[in-house]
Amino acid sequence: MKIFIIIATLFVAVDILIVAYVVFRRFRRRITPDDILEIQGAWEGIKREKDMGRAILEADKLLDHALMKLGYRGSLGTKLKKSHRLFGKNINRVWAAHKVRNNIAHQIHYQVDKQTYNSTIRQFEEAFKDLKIF
């Protein structure tokens, strides 16, 4: 009788794990090949943008869009907090790029110099590499 209870308990535990795995896989989203092409095309447009501040704003919006496609909800800040594992050690650089965007958007006389622009665009590009988009 004890062996029957042990075996039944094991079967129930395995069943629970299988259901949890199926539910997890069902709700975790992936970026489709069409989404990747859309994001890559938008990125090319961003790299051609002559206005450095606008390019950074657009890169930030594109990262927000990519994370939304992966199933993350909320503001970009919220999405970054929830998705930090996707970026590994690069997460602090992603935050730094987002903070430059915030400076552009919220500070009246904020000017982007060439060095800040290059660094920030490179940080966004690394974020897209972390997401396996580039």
CATH number at residue 121: 1.20.120
Q: Give the confidence band of 24 by pLDDT, cuts at 50, 70, 90.
A: low
Q: How many structural domains does the chain have?
A: 2
Q: What is the pLDDT of residue 42?
A: 97
If one compares 115 and 14, the residue with the highest pLDDT of the two is 115
Q: What is the pLDDT of residue 22?
A: 66
Same structural domain for residues 73 and 96? yes
Q: Give the confidence band of 113 by pLDDT, cuts at 50, 70, 90.
A: very high
Q: Supply the range of the domain harboring residue 10.
A: 1-29
Q: What is the pLDDT of residue 23?
A: 63
Q: Which amino acid is at 54?
A: R
Same structural domain for residues 85 and 114? yes
Neighbours of 52 (CB within 10 A): 18
Same structural domain for residues 42 and 90? yes
Give 63-94 pLDDT, tens digit per residue.
Answer: 999 999 999 999 999 999 999 999 999 999 99
Same structural domain for residues 44 and 17? no
CB < 8 Å & 24+ apart, contacts of 98-106: 98/60, 98/63, 100/56, 101/56, 101/57, 101/59, 101/60, 104/53, 104/56, 104/57, 105/57
Q: What is the pLDDT of residue 5?
A: 84
Give 28-53 pLDDT, tens digit per residue.
Answer: 568 899 999 999 999 999 999 999 99
Same structural domain for residues 10 and 51? no
